[in-house]
Amino acid sequence: MDSLKFRLLFSTLMALLMAFLMSAVLTAINTGLDGGFVARWLHAFLVAWPIAIVAAFFCAPIARRWTMRLMGLPTPGTRVG
């Protein structure tokens, strides 16, 4: 099991990358690339990032278990045999 410190750092970094890219793409699609794009993108990112941190923290363990099941790998706490 991952330590709490690891999970917090991992969630923060994963959320940073995802929120940065997703907010850029969605801001560009919804409002276009003009002179105000960077300001709108920054605002969208600053709103999305804290939400993404919480989502990543709680959803990463679930996604890991689902991935392990789909790949036929033993999940932590499962007895083999």
Segment 43-61 shows an average pLDDT of 96
Give the per-residue pLDDT at 75. Answer: 77
| Token pair for 52 | 């993404």
Mean pLDDT estimate for the chain: 92
DSSP symbols for 48-72: HHHHHHHHHHHHHHHHHHHHHHHTT
Q: Domain residues of the chain, as ranges?
A: 4-70
- Tell me: the pLDDT tens digits for 21-51? 999 999 999 999 999 999 999 999 999 999 9
Say what the pTM is: 0.79
